[in-house]
Amino acid sequence: MKSYRKELWFNIPTRVELINITPQVNQCLRESGIKEGLVLVNAMHITASVFINDDESGLHHDYQVWLEKLAPHEPISQYRHNNTGEDNGDAHLKRQIMGREVVVAITEGRLDFGPWEQIFYGEFDGRRRKRILVKIIGE
Helical axes 89-98 vs 57-70, angle rounded to 10°:
130
The answer to whether the beta carbons of residues 17 and 120 sit under 8 Å apart is no
Binding site for Zn ion (CB under 5 A): 86, 88
Q: Smallest gap, in angstroms, from Cβ of residue 94 to Zn ion?
A: 12
Of the pair 61, 129, the CB lying nearest Zn ion is at 129
Of the pair 60, 73, the CB lying nearest Zn ion is at 73
Of the pair 90, 119, the CB lying nearest Zn ion is at 90
CA dihedral 30, 33, 39, 45 (to 10 degrees): -60
Q: Smallest gap, in angstroms, from Cβ of residue 46 to Zn ion?
A: 7
Q: Smallest gap, in angstroms, from Cβ of residue 88 to Zn ion?
A: 4
Q: Smallest gap, in angstroms, from Cβ of residue 68 to Zn ion?
A: 17
Query: Cα–Cα distance between 5 and 108 in angstroms, integer?
Result: 20
The answer to whether the beta carbons of residues 36 and 84 sit under 8 Å apart is no
Closest CA to 48 of 113, 138, 129, 103: 129
The answer to whether the beta carbons of residues 59 and 53 sit under 8 Å apart is yes
Q: Smallest gap, in angstroms, from Cβ of residue 43 to Zn ion?
A: 14
Of the pair 40, 76, the CB lying nearest Zn ion is at 76
Of the pair 6, 92, the CB lying nearest Zn ion is at 92
